[in-house]
A and B are shown apart, each in its own frame.
Chain A
Amino acid sequence: DVKVTQSSRYLVKRTGEKVFLECVQDMDHENMFWYRQDPGLGLRLIYFSYDVKMKEKGDIPEGYSVSREKKERFSLILESASTNQTSMYLCASSVPANEKLFFGSGTQLSVL
């Protein structure tokens, strides 16, 4: 079975802190994604990557950056956390031309 692992299940940070969310997949998938999920808004794509060192902006990239130095790892960075970034963050992976996404269990981030 595909496993997508997110480093933390719950995280509490203060406004202005730099925050790293880590995601690792073990199935050699080329594609990796970061979404955030908020009540009533559904999942919104922040950034995605189709290959190592490659990244593309999703629908809501403002305030975020990403890093993909190795194929299995995709990191989401909040340069200066703000309260409106309090959310559930979900990482996903997939193979090209296959739209089935495999999700990690999510990180609930609270920014105080």
Chain B
Amino acid sequence: RKEVEQDPGPFNVPEGATVAFNCTYSNSASQSFFWYRQDCRKEPKLLMSVYSSGNEDGRFTAQLNRASQYISLLIRDSKLSDSATYLCVVNPSGAAGNKLTFGGGTRVLVKP
């Protein structure tokens, strides 16, 4: 089993709709969780960190479910510019540091 698993998609989303997708992780000791965004042929960039209480940044909401070992990302009022691959990232060591594990990414396509 992969340490971090994501549905590769693509999720085809009408403009203005809401889309949500999950990421599961295997190491229950994992402490830090992130969502990165990667545009086609570009480098990944940090979208948001995921906190235990859940957090929101504009139209984006991230949630953490420790009991079931998954994190989620919800995008409201989808824009064409939200089309990208969303990478789930986990620090599986439980320790501070940068040895992060990336999921394979979920591709989102927002269409007019």
Are the CB atoms of A48 and B99 closer together than 8 Å?
yes
Q: Which of B100, B104, B105 contacts A101 (CB 8 A)?
A: B100
Please give, as numbers and ranges, the residues of chain B lying within 8 Å of A48 by CB-CB distance.
98-99
Please give, as numbers and ranges, the residues of chain A lying within 8 Å of B99 by CB-CB distance.
45, 48, 58
Q: Does A43 contact B (CB under 8 A)?
A: yes
B98 CB to closest chain A CB (Å) equals 5
User: How many positions in chain A have a CB within 8 Å of any CB in the partner chain?
Assistant: 22
Query: Bound state CA distance, A42 and B27, in angstroms?
Result: 17
Query: Bound state CA distance, A11 and B42, in angstroms?
Result: 16
Are the CB atoms of B43 and A106 closer together than 8 Å?
yes
Query: Bound state CA distance, A40 and B2, in angstroms?
Result: 11
Q: Does B87 contact A (CB under 8 A)?
A: yes
Residues from 16 to 40 in A contacting B, C-beta threshold 8 Å? 31, 33, 35, 40
Residues from 87 to 112 in A contacting B, C-beta threshold 8 Å? 90, 94, 96-97, 99-101, 103-106
Binding site for A on B (CB under 8 A): 4, 8, 32, 34, 36, 42-46, 87, 91, 96-100, 102-105
8 contacts between A and B (CB under 8 A): A42-B87, A43-B44, A48-B99, A99-B91, A99-B98, A101-B36, A101-B46, A101-B98
Binding site for B on A (CB under 8 A): 31, 33, 35, 40-45, 48, 58, 90, 94, 96-97, 99-101, 103-106
